[in-house]
Amino acid sequence: MGGVSGESSGPGSATPGSITDVPGVRVGQVTRRGGGWLTGVTVVLPPPGTVAGVDVRGGGPGTHETDALDPRTLVPTADAVVLTGGSAYGLVTAHGVQRWCAEHGRGFRVGPGEREVVPIVPAAAVFDLGRGGVFGNHPTEAMGHEAAAAAASPAGARVERGTVGAGTGAVVGRRFKGGVGTASVRVGDAVVGAIAVVNAFGVPVAPGAAGGGRVPGEPLGSGPALNTTLACVATDAALDPAEVSRTATAAHDGLARALDPVHTLSDGDTVFALATGAVPLPAARPERVAELVRVQAAAAEAVRLAVLDAVASAEPVEVGGQLLPRWPG
């Protein structure tokens, strides 16, 4: 498969790359802003039969169906991945995505009928409750269904960035605007893409910056330390369930390179990984290990770029007279 090369020069470039550069992977997003709302949902819809894994590192996670992605369990695949606002309340969006998948015959087949399936739809949430002004305005089951339908539409090939989807109410450093970002990296014949929802206690680490990413003299903001950064990595490399799970683990390095601090007690940092299997890897063990290392290194880099892209793409938001400005770095 050869070496690793970036698809972009990072945030702000004309062609930053996207998780949808992985053939067959699509993204749908629903955004609610105004009238007490500042939240949304992001759905990653892979091709049927995509192998999935996850690694949860944060001390305050809000997740759904992550145990189903353990490589020791029955079903090795996932039918969609949901990234949502609304903290634990927002996890209901996975039910809407599951309903959409069932309507289209996508899922683990349990009977002869076209819709006799159980869709596997893992999800994770960020905390944005009350940021739009009304605590009870959080993503709904219907919004999950809408996002899944959007992912399956022609528009699903293009990923919106910034203050959209699950990143609509996101913040970084407790006082600057976070959001959704995406990027991709090529590994020989394969592509590794990532999408990130950045709602972090920490702040961005600029490339090559000494002493972390904070502006000199700028402390972390005040306010509740309830945060999370979510990411989903996808590749067209053919990985088995254990290899996909290890790729999710490796991809967390991208969070650590892009944010300072990360994986804290008050973050719910979670990374999902998907492998569509279109590009075979060598069967011989030494050669396969070498290619896996390249894919996993690319996963970390794609996540790093996606996190920085999210922060660079975020638009400032004013709610109740309070401004959430862009990160000044």
Residue with tokens 């939240």: 39
Cβ-Cβ contacts under 8 Å for 101 (sequence gap 6 or more): 79, 80, 107, 117, 119, 121, 148
Asked, for residue 325, whether it belongs to a domain, the answer is: no
In 10 A of CB 202, how many CB atoms? 26
Asked, for residue 17, whether it belongs to a domain, the answer is: yes
Asked, for residue 324, whether it belongs to a domain, the answer is: no
- Alpha helix segments (H runs only) across the chain: 87-90, 93-103, 141-152, 241-258, 285-313
- Say if residues 327 and 311 touch (Cβ distance below 8 Å): yes
Looking at residue 226, its pLDDT comes to 81
CATH value at residue 246: 3.60.70.12
Looking at residue 174, its pLDDT comes to 87
Query: ∠ CA 92-226-138 to the nearest 5 degrees?
Result: 30
| pLDDT per residue as tens, the chain (329 positions) | 544 444 443 333 445 699 999 999 999 999 999 999 999 999 999 999 999 999 999 999 999 999 999 999 999 999 999 999 999 999 999 999 999 999 999 999 999 988 899 999 999 999 999 999 999 999 999 999 999 999 999 999 999 999 999 999 999 998 899 999 999 999 999 999 999 999 999 999 976 544 445 543 455 556 667 889 999 999 999 999 999 999 999 999 999 999 999 999 989 999 999 999 999 999 999 999 999 999 999 999 999 999 999 999 999 999 878 899 999 87
Asked, for residue 89, whether it belongs to a domain, the answer is: yes
Looking at residue 241, its pLDDT comes to 97
Q: Residue 70: which domain range?
A: 4-314
pLDDT tens digits for range 4-46:
444 443 333 445 699 999 999 999 999 999 999 999 999 999 9
Per residue in 16-35, is it b (16+ CB within 10 Å) or e — as a string?
bbbbbbbebbbbbbbbbbee
Phi, psi of 159 (to 5 degrees): -100, 120
pTM: 0.92
Give how many domains the chain has, as a whole number: 1
Give the N- to C-terminal CA distance of the chain in Å, as an integer: 36
Q: Angle formed by the axes of helices 93-103 and 141-152, to 10°?
A: 50
Nearest to 271 by CA among 291, 294, 237, 296: 296
Per residue in 155-171, is it b (16+ CB within 10 Å) or e — as a string?
ebeebbbbbbbbbbbbb
Asked, for residue 68, whether it belongs to a domain, the answer is: yes
Torsion sign across C-alpha atoms 214, 215, 217, 218:
negative
Q: Give the single-character DSSP code of 68.
A: G
- Alpha helix segments (H runs only) across 153-279: 241-258
pLDDT tens digits for range 102-138:
999 999 999 998 889 999 999 999 999 999 999 999 9
- Say if residues 147 and 29 touch (Cβ distance below 8 Å): yes
Cis peptide before 71 (omega within 30 of 0): no
